[in-house]
Chain A
Amino acid sequence: MSKREITLSINGKTHTGAIEPRVSLLDFLRDEVGLTGTHVGCEHGVCGACSILLDDVPIRSCLMLAVQADGHAVTTVEGLSNQDGSPGALQDAFQDAHGMQCGYCTPGMLISAQALLADNPDPSVDEIKDAIGGNLCRCTGYVQIIESIQLAASRLREAGQ
């Protein structure tokens, strides 16, 4: 049951760490790497607060062992910011439409939205709902989150033109 050495890319940087096999990717990111933007909500795969991108695909980091991420690329909410740490386009849209309140589910929402917009620059409301259907938010009632994603999509489309 000794620790395993793993090497993975996190937000574009290579990290090497030694970890017990039983440790979740969520705990690894927070406690070993110190990236606390990814949040702990339920640790049984329902709330989506721990969502990250694994090789650009959104998954729940509580439902994966850290050792399983060996050799893979992880993106957390911190990786959505610009190089200088300022908010990226999606993050800006969430600010402008106030797509949050307490901010706890926000990283997971952003990750789900990021994955959606990467595949679908002009999502319908139903497509947005499907993308964030696995992310629970207690504060907002979701309306301003949907509006934030719509705002981001329209800005990204304009910027792309």
Chain B
Amino acid sequence: MNQKTGDNLRYVAHKRRVREDRRFVTGKGKFVQDVALPETKHAAVLPSPYPRARILAIDTTAAEALEGVAMVLTGQQMAADCNPIRLGLKLPEVKWYPLAVEMARYAGEWVAIVVADNAYIAEDALELIQVDYEPLAPIIDPEQAFAETDLFVHPGHGSNVLYHGNFLWGDVDGDFATADDSLTFRARWGRSSTVPIETFGALARWDEGTEILDIWASIQMPNFVELLANTLGYPLNSIRLHQDVDVGGSYGVKRGIKQSVLVGYLSRKLRVPVRLIEDRLVNMAGGDAHGPDRIFDTDVAFNSDGIIKSLKIRALDDAGAYPGRAPFQLAKPISAIVGPYTINSVKYEAISVATNKTGQVPVRGFGQAPTNYMIEMAVDTVARHLNLDRLEIRRRNLIPSDAFPYQIPSGSNYDSGDYHTVLQKGLDLARYDELLQRRDRARAEGRLAGIGIATCLEPGGGNNIFEYLMDPTAEITTFMEACEVKVDPQGKITGMMGTTTSGQGHETLFATILGEELEFDPDLIRIVHADSLSALPTRSPVASRMAIMLGGAATGAAGKIKDRAMAIAAFNLDLPVEDLEYSGGTISDRNDPSRKLTWAEICFIAYRAYHKLPPGMEPGFHAQYVFQVPGGGQLPDAQNRVQIYPCFSFQAHVPYVEIDPGTGKVSVLDYAIAHDCGTVINPDIVRGMVIGGLAHGIGAALYEKFSYDGEGQFLSATFADYLMPSVHEIPDVKDVEHCTPSPLTSHGQKGSGEGGYLGAPAAIASAVNDALHPLGLSITELPMRMSEIEALINNGPG
């Protein structure tokens, strides 16, 4: 790839306003709740109060009789008219319908839906629905679910195990046999999620005239329209998803397929637009947007000098009642299964089980955050065991900068990196020596103080081959992204992307790269979101991929535009293309710059002067480009070794915490982070995502948990009980960039939306455990709630 990086860049990597911001600060964002269609009806859903119960009967007559109610629909009725929602893995007896059919499988699962003139009346009607339940004993504990022989969440499936796979890369037994020592530990990642401030919402309108189902939804999901079409049994080209809807945060979870099936179905049935905006309580309990909930049992083999040789990992993940694509969150970590370290071999046992809890969906990092937490805990645990400094052990194990591209045991080639330098930048930023003194002074004064050290890799731009690792019938080897670029008769440029955006600034990214490549001010380039019928193949902004993939597509399309302009100029100037020079749209003779064609002239020719077009060239001026994931496209080899992600960003986190020993309350007082995602397209966007991810990670480490009691009742439906950090819980983060360009991307960029979240939980855990170390204590379960830390301090372990 002919890559433009560093000093040659005019717009990329320069601080520029984020174009999306203007509509948000003026209150003109267009979120799904803001889309107003005449005659719209409002839906509300009735959740099951029981985690597991047979639905014996539902009486909707009183609700239907209420004035203003258009329809009440039950699961049985819905299921008669739709297919089960397709799951990621082929589990034919795990049937997921938009509303529970015969059996409710978690507290909060939707059993009926009301459509009414407004949301108030819809909720009035919910009170009038009579459901006759037979409560049954639920399966709550994932270990129990795994071991269970006759109590199943989905009896037809005959087991609670949704996936159980074993992977072996390298000579694990040999490495364990020859290593000086080994140890075993358990780490637990609690059930939390991304919890955007906007819940999921969808609005549908069936148009009888065109026979098209129009959908507006706060969606961030690959294959959403396909899933919707399959579930409703509609042809794919009869659904039009409007992707110009602003999505109020997602980070993976905005996948409201059942919600959209319901409004789509109801709007066709009722011949009016129907919208379902989840309220907060419904979203938390029944929106199927929980994240990984994972237990790791890890053996680590190492030498007495701290060199880590091998890992044996068992990961048991609780997917809840309906898995969606949840099990694949055990597969992404394969792409960076040794983290940034030179670990020689790995055994990996991955298990996904169903329980009577809310369903799990992909969450920021797609399973990598828990795994990184476990890897960093392994490093800290070995360091502690050997009485070796946590920095020193990392320096000994980090992949050296001269080793790239570096192949890890599971087959990934890490594209580029300079881990030692980035770590050092983080330490310098934290003023590490002073921080050590501060910690030790605090300890001398009787306080519990600790410094965290953690690194993380952020795989970006994946090709979806992880699916094949879990299901060899899924021969999917691309996860492309496309765009179209149009130059109009005025010479103005419009870029069309094919997905929604949910805060990542894709319009800015796209315009910046087009401006860079075509040498036009990005602020004058229009970016639009094509609807799903008009869009070229895209796969949505998941997997830290848009800078890599949309950036690649934009570069490719810009190149085609330029090629076309050059061909027109070459023909009209009667010169070979090699003799021409492109500068800001004007094309001139290298040898005689007075001979030139201006951008306006080129555009005129393209649209109006067919006689001046090179023979055979179509009139008009646009280009399409479909970008394939770089460095991928292969099936795994016989040892299941494969490149899943092309690019690997790196971060080093250095937080400082103090713990109140009387209350167990952790205060994160300082935080330094160094990050390297190659070339940064827009510095403000990247910095925001890095710090925002980090704050999200502090939430996962200390505060956020979807709690269930022993009977399976859900306890975290409100924002008073699910504790997202406020500004008071987030320290004044200091950040520093480093740039090791990726050789695989258009401008050396890599992904950056997830790294903060991948590193912060490990870093905070490291800091808390450093603070507890003088007491001989450690904590291995996230979130580390203050009550549990206090109990540890004042009761001792166990």
Interface residues of A (CB under 8 A from B): 20, 22-23, 27, 30-31, 34-44, 46-47, 49, 76-78, 80-81, 85-87, 91-92, 94-98, 100-107, 110, 125, 129, 132-146
**In the complex, which residues of chain A have a beta carbon less than 8 angstroms from the beta carbon of B266?**
none
- Complexed CA–CA distance, A138 and B198 (Å): 10
Interface residues of B (CB under 8 A from A): 17-18, 20-29, 31, 33-34, 36, 118-120, 194-199, 246-251, 277, 279-280, 502-505, 684-685, 687-689, 691-696, 718-720, 724, 726-728, 730, 732-733, 756
- Write the chain A residue with the least CB distance to B689: A101
Contact A95 B22 (CB under 8 A): yes
**In the complex, which residues of chain A have a beta carbon less than 8 angstroms from the beta carbon of B29?**
37, 103-104, 106
Contact A101 B277 (CB under 8 A): no
- Complexed CA–CA distance, A133 and B504 (Å): 24
Point out which of A43, A81, A98 has the most chain B C-beta atoms below 10 A from its C-beta. Answer: A98
Contact B246 A141 (CB under 8 A): no
- Complexed CA–CA distance, A58 and B504 (Å): 29
Contact B727 A146 (CB under 8 A): yes
- Complexed CA–CA distance, A106 and B726 (Å): 14
Contact B691 A41 (CB under 8 A): no
Contact B692 A39 (CB under 8 A): no
Contact A39 B120 (CB under 8 A): no
- Complexed CA–CA distance, A87 and B689 (Å): 24
Contact A139 B692 (CB under 8 A): yes
Contact B33 A138 (CB under 8 A): no
**In the complex, which residues of chain B have a beta carbon less than 8 angstroms from the beta carbon of A144?**
684, 687-688, 691
- Complexed CA–CA distance, A44 and B31 (Å): 20
**In the complex, which residues of chain A have a beta carbon less than 8 angstroms from the beta carbon of B196?**
102, 104, 138
Contact B26 A103 (CB under 8 A): no
Contact A103 B719 (CB under 8 A): no
Contact A87 B719 (CB under 8 A): no
- Complexed CA–CA distance, A86 and B277 (Å): 30
Of A39, A77, A103, A110, which contacts B503 at CB under 8 A?
A: A103
**In the complex, which residues of chain A have a beta carbon less than 8 angstroms from the beta carbon of B23?**
103
Pairs across A and B, CB under 8 Å, 21 listed: A34-B36, A36-B27, A41-B719, A42-B280, A44-B280, A44-B720, A77-B26, A92-B25, A96-B17, A102-B249, A110-B25, A129-B727, A133-B728, A136-B197, A137-B692, A138-B197, A138-B692, A139-B688, A140-B688, A143-B732, A145-B727
- Complexed CA–CA distance, A77 and B194 (Å): 26
In the assembled complex, how far is the CB of residue B671 from the closest CB belonging to chain A, in whole angstroms? 9
- Complexed CA–CA distance, A11 and B696 (Å): 35
Contact A47 B197 (CB under 8 A): yes
Contact A137 B27 (CB under 8 A): no
In the assembled complex, how far is the CB of residue B291 from the closest CB belonging to chain A, in whole angstroms? 13
Of A36, A86, A137, A143, which contacts B197 at CB under 8 A?
A: A137
Of B198, B505, B696, B720, which contacts A41 at CB under 8 A?
A: B198
In the assembled complex, how far is the CB of residue A113 from the closest CB belonging to chain B, in whole angstroms? 11
Closest 9 CB pairs of A and B: A37-B27, A103-B24, A141-B695, A102-B503, A104-B248, A101-B503, A46-B719, A98-B684, A91-B25
Q: A100-B21, A103-B24, A137-B197 are in contact. Are A36 and B695 (CB under 8 A)?
A: no
- Write the chain A residue with the least CB distance to B693: A141
**In the complex, which residues of chain A have a beta carbon less than 8 angstroms from the beta carbon of B724?**
136, 138
Contact A140 B27 (CB under 8 A): no
In the assembled complex, how far is the CB of residue A81 from the closest CB belonging to chain B, in whole angstroms? 5
Q: A37-B27, A94-B21, A95-B18 are in contact. Are A101 and B692 (CB under 8 A)?
A: yes
- Complexed CA–CA distance, A141 and B502 (Å): 16
In the assembled complex, how far is the CB of residue A74 from the closest CB belonging to chain B, in whole angstroms? 13
- Write the chain A residue with the least CB distance to B30: A36
Q: A98-B688, A106-B24 are in contact. Are A43 and B198 (CB under 8 A)?
A: no
